[in-house]
């Protein structure tokens, strides 16, 4: 009996030792990694001392005031700026730059972790200057309808700087603690950053990629003509235009401006799958961006699985393709920038106390197409707005280059797309808009993009 009691005592002693070792590992060995984890609510206890997130002009986007985190831009930039909460941790840029803007050493160590120390000296936080603009974001927020699901992006094609990123539906990050449970439960997902994480069939906006690839590779010439009798037969599969529209005989510009699926199915077949996928890589479709806040990867079917009928559909943005709104903004930006795609960025500079300010310069991501090809596609996009499917985006006194898109998917009305840049000859701004389940891009999203562009250009004159 005595031996049995001793054995039981030994087992309990061993279990206690293992528990103590585990506690010591968590408190000491892994303390730093746990305490700096962006989603750890404990790490948000330093909200009163948290550093600033500033817009490109120095206007505050996230500041600490009276012991509370305050978001002056409100719901306009809620998804991208994010939040820092005592209860729910951090999200968005608040999470991405937590290591910069959170004061370090603010927590008292536990008895097991301290080994005689009771606290740690607090290091002052840094601040981050973003490329976002509060004034342009307010314009976008005002132009985007309420009661819809979608996103709008404004960026500078010359630098890749993202100036605005507005989602619908949205929320007020100033009230996130009170509203979080209901926000998370909503079926329309207001916490989702649709600009970066929404995946949509791009519809005819993707004809920018197909036209660029076909012209750049030499599969077609801008003067080539195509016949659209209302259908294009590929084996047992037949391509049709929306509502069985017939555009007749058009050159490449006319086919682009009138958005003929039939013509672009023929162009895609002439280009071929190998070359089509080569230019997907040149436009970085499906690639990660390397931004501070990651973007969901586009869905691109494996090339080995592509039949001619699938290639025909992908050539006008259907089939198995699904992309983010930012991806189509970057595609338009490459054309606006003479064929050179700039890497997208949200950060202008990082300021740390006692250290030299870290400037984040623009970086070229690669050349998608030649300057001559980009100029030809730009002219096609101008034709879209002048006489094609995007006339609702026209701005008096400003030449706008754009492309409509109507992304069809099963079980719901199509997603309405519009991407554009202006002034067309010397572009300063790119705008991309998608509204879910809304119908035609030319009727729904083009007027929104027009309002954004018209009001934003005077705010961004350089």
Catalytic residues: 204
Tokens of 30: 């892994």
Q: Measured between alpha carbons, how far is 333 from 211 in angstroms, rounded to an integer?
A: 15
Question: Which stretches of 71-165 are DSSP H helices?
Answer: 78-81, 92-96, 98-101, 111-114, 134-143
Supply angle C-alpha 31, 36, 42, rounded to 5: 80
Question: Which stretches of 191-282 are DSSP H helices?
Answer: 194-197, 207-217, 252-257, 261-271, 273-282
Using DSSP, state whether 286 is helix, strand or coil. coil
Label the pairing between strands 89-91 and 83-85: antiparallel
Number of C-beta neighbours around residue 269 at 10 A: 19
Locus of tokens 């030449």: 399
Cα–Cα distances in angstroms (integers) from residue 283 to residues 32, 99, 146, 418, 425, in the given order:
40, 32, 32, 18, 21
Cα–Cα distances in angstroms (integers) from residue 371 to residues 255, 341, 378, 416, 458, in the given order:
21, 11, 10, 29, 27
Q: Measured between alpha carbons, how far is 247 from 270 in angstroms, rounded to an integer?
A: 19
Asked whether the beta carbons of 155 and 138 are under 8 A apart, the reply is no
Q: What is the DSSP letter of 395?
A: B
Using DSSP, state whether 56 is helix, strand or coil. coil
- Whose CA is closest to 42, among 96, 85, 91? 85
Supply angle C-alpha 82, 87, 90, rounded to 5: 25
Tokens of 269: 């077949």
Residues 6+ apart with CB under 8 A from 123: 103, 104, 105, 353
Locus of tokens 């080995």: 304
Tokens of 136: 């342009």
Asked whether the beta carbons of 380 and 257 are under 8 A apart, the reply is yes
Asked whether the beta carbons of 174 and 305 are under 8 A apart, the reply is no
């Amino acid at each position: 009996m005595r031996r049995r009691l001793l054995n039981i005592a030994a087992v309990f002693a061993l279990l206690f030792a293992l528990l103590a070792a585990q506690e010591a590992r968590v408190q000491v060995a892994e303390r730093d990694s746990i305490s700096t984890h962006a989603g750890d609510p404990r790490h948000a206890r330093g909200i009163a001392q948290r550093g600033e997130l500033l817009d490109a002009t120095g206007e505050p986007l996230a500041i600490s005031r009276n012991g509370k985190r305050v978001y002056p831009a409100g719901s306009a930039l809620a998804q991208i700026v994010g939040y820092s909460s005592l209860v729910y941790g951090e999200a968005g840029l608040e999470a991405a730059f937590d290591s910069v803007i959170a004061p370090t050493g603010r927590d008292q160590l536990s008895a097991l972790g301290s080994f005689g120390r009771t606290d740690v000296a607090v290091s002052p936080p840094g601040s981050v200057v973003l490329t976002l603009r509060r004034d342009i974001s307010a314009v976008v927020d005002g132009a985007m309808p309420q009661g819809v699901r979608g996103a709008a992006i404004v960026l500078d094609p010359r630098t890749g700087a993202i100036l605005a990123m507005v989602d619908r539906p949205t929320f007020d990050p100033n009230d996130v603690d009170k509203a979080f449970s209901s926000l998370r439960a909503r079926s329309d997902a207001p916490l989702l950053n649709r600009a970066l994480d929404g995946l949509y069939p791009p519809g005819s906006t993707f004809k920018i990629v197909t036209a660029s690839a076909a012209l750049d590779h030499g599969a077609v010439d801008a003067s080539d003509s195509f016949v659209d009798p209302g259908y294009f037969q590929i084996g047992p599969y037949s391509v049709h235009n929306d509502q069985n529209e017939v555009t007749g005989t058009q050159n490449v510009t006319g086919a682009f401006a009138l958005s003929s699926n039939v013509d672009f199915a023929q162009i895609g077949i002439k280009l071929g799958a190998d070359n089509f996928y080569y230019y997907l890589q040149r436009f970085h479709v499906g690639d990660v961006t390397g931004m501070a806040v990651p973007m969901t990867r586009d869905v691109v079917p494996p090339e080995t699985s592509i039949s001619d009928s699938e290639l025909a559909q992908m050539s006008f943005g259907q089939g198995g393709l699904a992309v983010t709104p930012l991806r189509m903004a970057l595609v338009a930006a490459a054309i606006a920038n003479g064929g050179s795609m700039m890497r997208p960025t949200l950060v202008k500079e990082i300021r740390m106390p006692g250290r030299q300010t870290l400037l984040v310069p623009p970086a070229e991501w690669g050349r998608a197409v030649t300057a001559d090809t980009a100029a030809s596609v730009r002219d096609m996009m101008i034709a879209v707005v002048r006489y094609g499917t995007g006339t609702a985006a026209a701005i008096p006194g400003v030449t706008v280059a754009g492309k409509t898109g109507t992304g069809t998917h099963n079980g719901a009305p199509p997603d309405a797309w519009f991407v554009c840049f202006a002034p067309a000859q010397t572009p300063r701004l790119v705008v991309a808009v998608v509204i879910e389940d809304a119908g035609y891009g030319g009727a729904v999203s083009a007027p929104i993009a027009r309002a954004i562009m018209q009001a934003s250009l005077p705010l961004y004159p350089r």
